[in-house]
A and B are shown apart, each in its own frame.
Chain A
Amino acid sequence: MSKFRKNGSKELPAISTASLPDVVFMLLFFFMTVTTMREVTLMVRQTLPQATELNKLEKKSLVSYIYVGVPQPQFQRVFGNEPRIQLNDEFHEVGDIIDFIVAERQARDEAEIPFMITSLKVDEYTKMKIVQDIKQELRRASALHINYSSRKRVENN
């Protein structure tokens, strides 16, 4: 054993773990900043359509979401199995959209209102009638900047 050891016999010091918390904190802050938590629970079933020409939604805080789709199985008894509109955590009628937009506006700063975007998360198999009604309501509420939420399509040709 002592064959390999030099006479000084200096032990290799253990790696200091003092900086471990710092490293972990750094990672922690990274994840805390990139995290976006879902504020609403989806009550409708959704498969978003696919598209290629996508724009990213930049400012999350300025986006209001409108979900459309067939209610999840546990809600179907009450709400039926026709596509419904979900605003925040409740099912709503088309007529409630104006109120929803107004409430969303009031929650924001006045200077930010012109930059607000409405994101339509609509199931692929929905008929256009309900979407058309929503669009008319949004025009009436003059929330004209919209975004049809879709997934990136992978070209396979």
Chain B
Amino acid sequence: MAKKPPEIPSASLADIAFLLLIFFMVTTTMDADKGLERRLPPMAENIDEKDAPPVKERNVFIVLVNKDNQLLVEGEWMNVRELREKAKEFMANPYDDENLPEKETKEVNFFGEVQVSKGIISLQNDLGTQYGTYIEVQNELVGAINDLRNELAKSKFGKSFDLLDKEKQDAIREIYPQRISEAEPKGIKPGGGK
């Protein structure tokens, strides 16, 4: 009669598991990667400047950032902190000001006929601008639109924008589109641009 082989002791199992556990606990970094999400415009094949539809001056919100990280918004010197309010006012145009963008009537789900702004935000920076400032400005512009969307979502659906389902979000996106265009920065060709 063959001897039964002895069972493998499992007493050390817990120790091994603990060891692994401690290893993973130490190496874990819980912070999720976050950032400002943007989409670049596709590379234009060979579009003439003339082919682009003309945009009226009142429909463009021009933000310039120079190499000393100073802002020029619609021809006025401005602090970054004021930018959000200014951009919101531009995109919403609550009193149909003549200098602020035109609106067109659009049919949107859930809302019916709505006046949608034709405004475009144009951002141009210098090659010497600091990246931190650039992000700050982008953040304010994206934030302005997010604020408007949130306000609309709150007044219409009683919830913040993030909590709505997709169709409602799309409807609001249609009313406040994120139209931020980035012009080629100054100084890309030496002596080029004004």
**Measuring CB to CB, which residues of chain A are less than 8 angstroms from any residue of chain B?**
17, 20-21, 24-25, 27-28, 31-32, 34-38, 49-57, 60, 63, 117, 119-120, 122-129, 131-132, 135, 138-140, 142, 144-152
A126-B17 in contact (CB<8A): no
A28-B127 in contact (CB<8A): no
A119-B131 in contact (CB<8A): no
CB distance from B106 to the nearest CB of A (A): 25
B47 within 8 A of A: no
Among B21, B25, B41, B188, residue most surrounded by chain A Cβ atoms (within 10 Å): B21
**Measuring CB to CB, which residues of chain B are less than 8 angstroms from any residue of chain A?**
10, 13-14, 17-18, 20-21, 24-25, 27-30, 32-43, 125-132, 134-136, 138-139, 142-143, 146, 185, 188
Docked pose: A21 CA to B21 CA in angstroms:
11
Interface residues of A, dominant DSSP: mixed
Closest 6 CB pairs of A and B: A124-B132, A31-B24, A149-B35, A51-B139, A49-B135, A147-B35
Contacts of B128 in A (CB 8 A): 127-129
Say whether, besides A31-B21, A31-B28, A53-B143, A127 and B36 are in contact (CB < 8 Å): no
> A21-B13, A31-B25, A54-B34 are known contacts; what are 4 more A-B pairs with Cβ within 8 Å?
A28-B20, A51-B138, A127-B127, A144-B41
